[in-house]
A and B are shown apart, each in its own frame.
Chain A
């Protein structure tokens, strides 16, 4: 794609370099514009984790999961995933390292990581870039789809690998 687009454009007599620079200019401003949004969100997430509030929440839900035959080890991943992409990837890697990549936990972790996304980050970056303050129902829908992805990943893995 990186080679095809400029070649195609050149064939259609587009001044490719000038076009590139023209578009690229916007990238810098956009990245700078996102900074306040990301700093705000990252601080809240970081504080929430470091205070032990996240651990407390997990201690609350894990007995419930165990009752359903779901390994409670994967729960933190489900809670971390919408908040932090690198944090959840680190946690998934840790689960894979400790339990083995071919264990049920390792496979569930991989599937969760692959089928959900860092909703708060995506929301912050995309809305931050255009100055949207009121996201309407976007956050609700995003978190709902994360929850569905999390549950679906566990259910499907239990069915296929369990």
Chain B
């Protein structure tokens, strides 16, 4: 699906640029986009380096494991295929709480770390596991308690009550999150139905990527 969307955006963009006589803008947009991609990645370095450092301290101190044990039941429901007490759960929870508090730049490193931990459990390293899809669904729905940026912007433009959108945002984000969890469950169920009965996907991994496999598997 990502292939079709990516190709579609470029081809449609090219056709529209040709029809609208905007080929100059098209070419400029290509390099602008490429530059943006690099800028954003480099902007992430400082945040990633710092938070992954702090999270490593938390892991070594056993904090992630205690959090995982404490909130295990909730995560157990959302991520039925992640074993209890697995480090991934601690990172998933840190990612969720950072999102809740609206700490966008702290949520990303923890989400990435959670993905890397889930990848160690993933039998097929090229294809997202259901647990990865669930984590992504939770992140794209972005459960937000305090939309701090928007409150600041409204304050800036002289709103009489900048925080009066907290209630509506909370309600909308709640609906969106429920929808995401529901849709994720539905897709997961359909995936299981489509797969013929028998041993699950483990047999597809030729090298048998067991739990000891490395975090990084950067391909492509």
**Could you tell me if A23 and B16 are in contact, using CB atoms closer than 8 angstroms?**
no
Q: Does A29 contact B (CB under 8 A)?
A: yes
In the complex, chain B residues 29-65 whose Cβ is within 8 Å of any chain A Cβ: 29-30, 32-34, 36-38, 40-42, 44-45, 47-63
**Could you tell me if B172 and A111 are in contact, using CB atoms closer than 8 angstroms?**
yes
**Could you tell me if B215 and A138 are in contact, using CB atoms closer than 8 angstroms?**
no
Among the interface residues B30, B47, B59, B141, which one has the most CB atoms of the partner chain A within 10 A? B141
Q: Find A47's partner among B26, B42, B55 (CB 8 Å cutoff).
A: B26
Quick one: given A52-B20, A123-B2, are A26 and B126 in contact (CB under 8 Å)? no
* Chain B min CB distance to A44 (Å): 4
**Could you tell me if A126 and B136 are in contact, using CB atoms closer than 8 angstroms?**
yes
**Could you tell me if A51 and B33 are in contact, using CB atoms closer than 8 angstroms?**
no
* Chain A min CB distance to B13 (Å): 4
* Chain B min CB distance to A26 (Å): 5
In the complex, chain A residues 97-139 whose Cβ is within 8 Å of any chain B Cβ: 97, 100-102, 106-107, 110-117, 119, 122-123, 125-127, 129-139
Number of interface residues of B (CB under 8 A): 105
**Could you tell me if A51 and B191 are in contact, using CB atoms closer than 8 angstroms?**
no
**Who on chain B is nearest to A126 by CB?**
B115
- Residues in chain B near residue A34, CB distance under 8 A: 41, 44
Q: Does A21 contact B (CB under 8 A)?
A: yes
* Chain A min CB distance to B201 (Å): 12
- CA–CA, A90 to B42, complex, Å? 21
Q: Does A62 contact B (CB under 8 A)?
A: no
Q: Does A141 contact B (CB under 8 A)?
A: yes
Q: Does A77 contact B (CB under 8 A)?
A: no
* Chain B min CB distance to A120 (Å): 8
- CA–CA, A97 to B156, complex, Å? 9
Q: Does A66 contact B (CB under 8 A)?
A: no
A48-B13, A51-B20, A152-B171 known; 4 other A-B pairs, CB under 8 Å? A42-B40, A49-B29, A114-B169, A137-B187
A interface, CB within 8 angstroms of B: 1-2, 5-6, 8-9, 12, 14, 16, 19-24, 26-36, 38-53, 56, 89, 92-93, 96-97, 100-102, 106-107, 110-117, 119, 122-123, 125-127, 129-142, 144-146, 148-149, 152-153, 156-157, 160-161
